[in-house]
Structure 1
Amino acid sequence: MSKKLIMLVGVMLVAATFYILGGDYLTLDAIKGALSEAQGHYQSKPLIFALIYISTYAIIVSFYLPGPLFLNLLVGAVAGPAAGTVFALFGVTLGSLLAFMTARYFCHEWVENRFPEQSRKVTKAVKRSGWMYVTLMRLAPGIPVGLTNLLAGLSRINIVVFGLATLLGSIPWIIFYVLMGKQLMTMNSITNLLNIEILLVAGLLMALVLVSHWALQKMSSSKPV
């Protein structure tokens, strides 16, 4: 099972646990108050907020630091689903490109020596399937996303193609977490987190992940023609 699928199931299990153990008694006033204040800053200076947010997101992704999940939820609550999705996609794509270029131009040999087996696997798969393989790795990665950026840098894939594949493959996950963040601003208790919209998107996303994971395994095991 992919790391992202486990994360998705984990988020839903946490919300369900809160519901079973008495989520109606949990207050979200403090969280919603902080988000409302951040929303005020965004509405007064949207460009500055966007630049700071995208830069922070890119740095976190490029160095493979924890935080993207929180940033996706935050921007969904503060900027809304449309703008939030755009900001998050810019951040994850820029950060992935920075890591990709670092591996290709500055530490190619180190990455190859540090991850020899993964390097050979990804290089061969990208050579056969190109952008499709990169896109599927974003949807159902068998290796961490941060490592994927580095390993893709060792292949001959065009940097623009890599960026577009990263953007495409990141869309479903970004939308899901941004919608979760948006829900934080409107719910009255933690139980409201699991509304019909979220459950529908989660169901479609899980189906997409399973199909992508199967396709990724087929591509990795297939022999070149």
Structure 2
Amino acid sequence: MGGSVLFIPGFFALASLGVYTLSVNFPEHTGVHSNSSDLKFPTNMDELQRVANFLHDYKNDHFNYVMVLFTSAYLYKQTFAIPGSVFMNLLAGALYGPWVGFILCCFLISCGSSFCYLLSDFFGKKYIIQYFPQKVKYFQTLIEENLDSLFFFLLFLRLFPMSPNWFMNMASPIVNIPLDIFFLSILVGSMPYIFICVQTGCVLSQIRSLDEIFTLWTMAKLCGIAIVALLPGFLIKKHCAKQKKKE
């Protein structure tokens, strides 16, 4: 069932130390917003605005350092399933603009989720089964019922805004979802959500709460896109069923 689960807190401690070291060793800079106390993982829009101001001020003179810090922080949150990725996506839009921010976040969310998958695969399977037996069993049933169109089914789950992505990242190796299909489904499936966040991040100063981003209309559109993603899978399943009847 893999290695000892004690490796996970060890990796977490090392990763935490790395992100912390980056955050407290900024190159010297005297800018309008160069207050290092503002640099932390944001949990609301006010904190996000302060972090964005701080990093934007540094980015002009220390682009590579800010990029390394942002990338490390994003991967850290995704790898260890820490809530708050929406703020990182908004921050990407504020720092890098709509297209660079979009591409960067799509890549990082796919890589970070894959690292979470690998941690679960090597060290956490037994404990996820132990603490979430019903959820794992239900997920396993869904995967087995959609094996003929696995990619499109996973795409639907990633596009659907209410899906528990943190759980799917950890449970996917348990139900034998291949890593390449897992990675690709996240890369494609996260695009609409990330696009909305990054575009909004470009006008961050005009946003006061997350409710202004994820309105009922926005959620309905995401659900609609998710349903459309099911159509190819439905057609594939129908075709496979016909082939089995012929046999």
- Equivalent of 2:68, from 51, 54, 72? 51
Tell me how far apart the structure 2 counterparts of residues 74 and 173 of structure 1 sit (CA, whole Å): 14
Equivalent residue pairs, number:
188
Provide closer, same or farther for how the CA distance between residues 214 and 82 of structure 1 changes in structure 2, counting only shifts above 3 A.
closer
> Which structure carries more relative contact order (alpha carbon 8 Å, separation 6+)?
1
- Give unpaired runs (5+ residues) of structure 2: 1-44, 242-247
Counterpart residue number, 2:164? 144
Determine which structure has the larger helix proportion and give its number. 1
Contact 2:102 2:198 (C-alpha < 8 Å) held by counterparts: yes
Contact 1:55 1:91 (C-alpha < 8 Å) held by counterparts: no
Q: Which has the larger radius of gyration?
A: 2
- Residue correspondence of structure 1 range 1-225 to structure 2 within 5 A: 35-127=52-144, 128=147, 129-140=149-160, 143-185=163-205, 187=206, 203=217, 206-210=220-224, 212=226
Contact 1:141 1:213 (C-alpha < 8 Å) held by counterparts: no
Contact 1:35 1:77 (C-alpha < 8 Å) held by counterparts: yes
Tell me how far apart the structure 2 counterparts of residues 29 and 80 of structure 1 sit (CA, whole Å): 20
Which 4+ runs in 1 deviate beyond 3 A?
Answer: 28-37, 201-205, 213-216
Query: Considering only aligned residues, what root-mean-square deviation do their CA atoms show, in Å?
Result: 3.6
Provide closer, same or farther for how the CA distance between residues 96 and 32 of structure 1 changes in structure 2, counting only shifts above 3 A.
closer
Tell me how far apart the structure 2 counterparts of residues 183 and 55 of structure 1 sit (CA, whole Å): 24
Q: Deviations over 1:111-164 (max 9, x none)?
A: 122222221232333342322222222111554211110111212222122111
Quote how far apart the aligned CAs of 1:181 are.
0.8
- Provide the identity percentage: 22
Quote how far apart the aligned CAs of 1:38 are.
2.0
The normalised TM-score by structure 1 is 0.68
Contact 1:172 1:205 (C-alpha < 8 Å) held by counterparts: no
- Give unpaired runs (5+ residues) of structure 1: 1-27
The normalised TM-score by structure 2 is 0.63
